[in-house]
Each structure stands twice: as structure tokens, then as C-alpha cells.
Copies of this chain bind each other. A is one copy, B any other.
Amino acid sequence: MRATEFLLATEKETPADAVVISHQLMLRSGMIRKLAAGLYTWMPLGLRTLRKVEAIVREEMNRAGAQEVLMPAVQPAELWEETGRWFQYGGELLRVKDRHNRDFCIGPTHEEVITDLARNQLSSYKQLPVNLYQIQTKFRDETRPRFGVMRAREFIMKDAYSFHADEASLQITYDKMHEAYSRIFTRLGLDFRPVLADTGSIGGALSHEFHVLASSGEDDIAFSNESDYAANVELAETVAPAGERPAATAELASIATPAMTSIEDVASFLKASPAQVLKAIVVRGEHTAEKAEGEPAPVVLFLRGDHQLNEIKAEKIAGVASPLQFASDAEIAAIGGVSGFVGPQGIQAKCYVDRSAAHMANFICGANAADTHLTGFNWERDGELPEVRDLRNVVAGDPSPCGKGTLDIKRGIEVGHIFQLGTKYSEAMKAKVLDENGKDRTLVMGCYGIGVSRVVASAIEQNHDDNGIIWPDAIAPFNIGIVPMNYHRSDVVKEATEKLYTELSAAGFDVYLDDRDKKTSPGVKFADMELMGLPHRIVISDRGLEAGNVEYKARRNGEAQDIPLADILDFLKQQIG
């Protein structure tokens, strides 16, 4: 591609509303342009990378035996009513009425549509397993779309759905998808980790996320330093402290702590560490099968003062409202507590204590009286030990739940997610096949997503410097950039340039030739190429050609070096591989 025939759209200024680096660089390099909040046009430069990502995803899905389909973006409400999600999904589901006043949505995901296809198409266990995927435009009406294509409203996703006669078959396909995803992200040239994940609202038994590691990631990932264990902090289990709880040695005492409602204030006032203070969090309750009547009672959660509540773990407790809601001062008062001074003694509510907090001794806690804390509190001696649960986020240095090593925590961007869905959708939609004995069997399902457009942004988050993007070879919009010096005045340079451009293109490389005239300085051309992230740069000049050389520079780490023109094709083949 020649610069003069390309819709080059580089910009010097960083757009004001772009916060994360990938968003800034995608705008500045001219990969995308904003149409409206969360809606972006992919410009020629950006689309080249997007299509390369799609192609790798497609190849590996096909290799893993999945078959490509294409489902409509617009979906009838009836199917979503069958699974109940028409009512549950909330504002992210863009609902629309057609000209006959029938309800539809713009698909944020396709479980309903594919399960409908499966129940119509699959009738016998002999047709199983089947794994169907599509690469398609999705829409989620995010409240606050941000970070460019990282969290856009309209985006491109590869979503796959597998159907099985039993869990064992699902596990085999799940493992294949795990492998395929690892191959995909490896081929994309990304530093990634598959991590155990919460199955969340999609439901199901087992789930892994694939994260691109980058400091700007929205997720915390916990890794063992001695094993392959990796899990989203949302899910990572904390291990109960080893050994017996320390003995009760201090006297229980009540102490005035006027207006000291934070752990930090109390600890500093009492010259203790936050780890010696018991944190109490009162959350709203929810009806359970046993307690289905009246106002649901609040629930009290106790943690060590230096630990953070893991909301997902808390939401899984029966009787706790999901999503988590904090109780009001009045609700706290109603169970005998005082907001800011809640403790175990005398509180009239179901309580849970985190594994680490259950191991505390001689600690400080609220007295359930205004401006008062207790010191020297000990479980069992001074108050009943509540039911023990894993309630907190793991922290760096925690022992790994796999039993090997301790945990380290890094930030990641979720780019893939695989789920064992089980029968959640097939049950609701009556998707069945006949088994060997001619009996109905509900299909067992898996689903497997990759945020294709998000992958592009994540790759930039992980691969950039002050001058711009540094593309991995596999997804660079152009592999090679050529800057000819004096192209419009030197016949020698022009001839060598054209010959090399033709030769490299014929060898299968995507070549970008900056043939702009002298009004654009070499410095501007170099800066544009660095901003656009082209991995390999060649400069052709009269002086170089006199010595039979061109100048080569790698975007990632390069010092410029002279390479004989005669060797440059082989040299590049070696570099790009």
C-alpha cells in the first residue's frame, strides 16, 4: 500500500476524552474514529489488524473442529422470554420493536438463538458433539461506554457454542477450546494467562478467562509463584491460616472511640495495626427457600481490618441479596447495631466470619454502642464464632490454594472466556436429543467467547512505547514500512524502492510505502510509522544504495543497521518468520 493511496489519518494531539493508552493510540494512529458514545468506525488501518485477528481466530476454531455459522444480530424476544433473560438482562439489552410492533433485541450474545437452532436441528446423540461458532457484531448498551473499543457498545465477538450428550463429552470439547484459545493468543503474539473464573450470571459449572496481562487491566489475577495456578481474584480461594488460633490472653475492655468509624482511625488511635481490628460489613438480605416471608433480614460479614470483602463470594451466600447491597443505618439499628461500631457481641442477625478473621485473637471490634469499641476480644470466650466462610480477596503473599507457593497479583484484560454451561439453556428451551436407548436427553452445553475487537486494544495496551504502537508481527496492519529518501528526485532511489516494494509484496508481506512528496519530511514519515506500530522499517537512500545497502530498524528494540539490498528479503523473512 502506498501512503498516497491510503486514507492516512494520523494525528499529533492526544484526544482529550481518551483515557487509556490503547484508545489514545488507536485514535492518533487513525485506526478508529468515533461515531457516537461507544460506537466506532474502523478505518482502513485499524480494520487490517482486526481482520488479521479474525483470521487467526477462525483458523484455530476450524482446526479445533468447530464449524462457522452466522446468526442474525436482531433476535426475537420470544426466545429470550423462554430463558427468562428478556426480564433479567437489564438495560444492556437493546430492545426494539419492529414495524408490526413485535419485540426484538440487538443480540449481546446468542445462547438463545443457537439453542433454538440446536433443538430444531439436532435430534439424535449421533449428531453430537457439535461446536458452532460465529464472528459477529454484538451490541451491549453499556451505561458508560469507555476506553474506545475496549468497552464499546457495538463490538465484534467470536462466540462458540457446543452441544453434547453428557458432561464427559463437554469436558473434552472444553479442553480442546482451552487449547485452541492458548494457540490463538500465542499466535497473536500476546502475553496472556488462562485463569479460573467465576461463572457469573451466565451460569454453569466451570469457567476460565483468558487475560492479556497489562498494567491497565481492569481485573486482578492471582498467580502461584510455584505452579500453573492462576485465577481471577474474584474467584481465587483464600486458604485458612495454618495452625490453631492464638490463645486468648488479653482482657476484654470497652473503650471510647468518639466518631472513629473507620478501621484506620480506630487502629491508629489504639496504636494497633488494621490487622488487629475486626471489620464488620452489614449487607441486605434476600428471601431463601426457608425464609420466604416478611422483610429479609440483614446479614453481618466479619473480616480482618486489612482485608477486602470479595463481593462475588459474599453474593453466593444463601440469604444475601445479589447484587450486594449495603444496609442502611436504620437497618443496622434494627438488628441492635450502630453504624460504624458494629461488632459480634449482641448483634441480632445471621453472621459469617472470614477464614482469616476467624483466626484472630485478642482483637479490637465494634461494641454495638455509639462511639465505643471493645479491645481484647476473643471468639468463643467473648462471643460465639459465626459460621466461617471464605469472604475476602486474596492478597499478594497469600498461600496459593493449589498448595504450592504463594500468590502474586497482576492486572489483566479479559479477552476470552470459556464456560461449561451445562443444561441451563437447553433445559429452559427444551433442547433434547434421543439417546442410544431412544430416550430424551437434555443437551449439555458449553460456550466460548473471544472479544475480537477488544483483542486489538489489549494488544496495544501490552505493546507500546512513547512513540506509539509496537505491533506483534502476526497482527501488524503492515509488516514492513519503506521510507525512500528523495523518492521524487532520485531515479536510483525510486527504481530500487519500486523493485523492493514489488518483491516484498510478492513474497506475501504487507508493505507500506511512504511515497509522499518532499513536503512531508522524513522525520514525519518516521514518526507516523512508529505511531502506526509497523514492526520493520526500511530506509532507502542514495548514500546507502551507493554501498549496496538499505537501512533496517526493528520497531521494538531496534538500532538502525545497514543490510545489503541483495540480502534484505531473506533477512526480513528471518525477522518476521
Q: Determine how close the nearest CB of chain B comes to the CB of A152; give it in whole angstroms.
A: 9
Encoded as 1 (CB less than 8 Å from any B CB) or 0, chain A from 63 to 103 comes to 00101111111111000000000000001101110110000
- List of B residues within 8 angstroms of A464 by Cβ: none
**Distance of A104 Cα from B40 Cα, bound (Å):** 14
**Distance of A143 Cα from B71 Cα, bound (Å):** 21
For window 122-166 of A, CB contacts with B under 8 Å fall at 127, 130, 132, 137, 139, 141, 143, 153-154
Tell me if A571 counts as interface (CB < 8 A to partner B).
no
Judge whether A41 and B67 touch: CB under 8 Å: no
Judge whether A68 and B47 touch: CB under 8 Å: yes
Partner of A7, one of B42, B71, B113, B132: B132
Judge whether B99 and A91 touch: CB under 8 Å: yes
Judge whether B67 and A7 touch: CB under 8 Å: yes
Tell me if A121 counts as interface (CB < 8 A to partner B).
yes
**Distance of A445 Cα from B130 Cα, bound (Å):** 47
Judge whether A73 and B42 touch: CB under 8 Å: no
Among A31-39, A206-214, A218-226, A291-299, the stretch in contact with B: A31-39
**Chain copies in complex:** 2
Tell me if A120 counts as interface (CB < 8 A to partner B).
yes
Judge whether B72 and A39 touch: CB under 8 Å: yes
**Distance of A36 Cα from B73 Cα, bound (Å):** 12
**Known interface pairs A44-B67, A99-B91, A130-B7; A35-B141 also in contact (CB < 8 Å):** no
- List of B residues within 8 angstroms of A76 by Cβ: 35-36, 39
**Known interface pairs A76-B36, A130-B7; A70-B47 also in contact (CB < 8 Å):** yes
Judge whether B73 and A120 touch: CB under 8 Å: no
- List of B residues within 8 angstroms of A7 by Cβ: 67, 121, 127, 130, 132
**Known interface pairs A69-B47, A91-B99, A137-B137; A74-B153 also in contact (CB < 8 Å):** yes
Enumerate 30 A-B pairs (CB-CB under 8 Å) in ascending A order.
A6-B67, A7-B121, A7-B127, A7-B130, A33-B120, A33-B121, A35-B75, A35-B113, A35-B117, A36-B72, A39-B72, A39-B75, A41-B70, A41-B113, A42-B70, A44-B67, A47-B68, A47-B69, A47-B70, A73-B139, A74-B94, A74-B139, A74-B153, A74-B154, A92-B99, A94-B96, A94-B98, A95-B96, A96-B106, A106-B106
Other 10 A-B pairs with CB < 8 A, given A7-B121, A74-B106, A98-B141: A9-B121, A33-B117, A41-B69, A44-B69, A74-B154, A91-B99, A96-B96, A96-B106, A99-B141, A106-B106
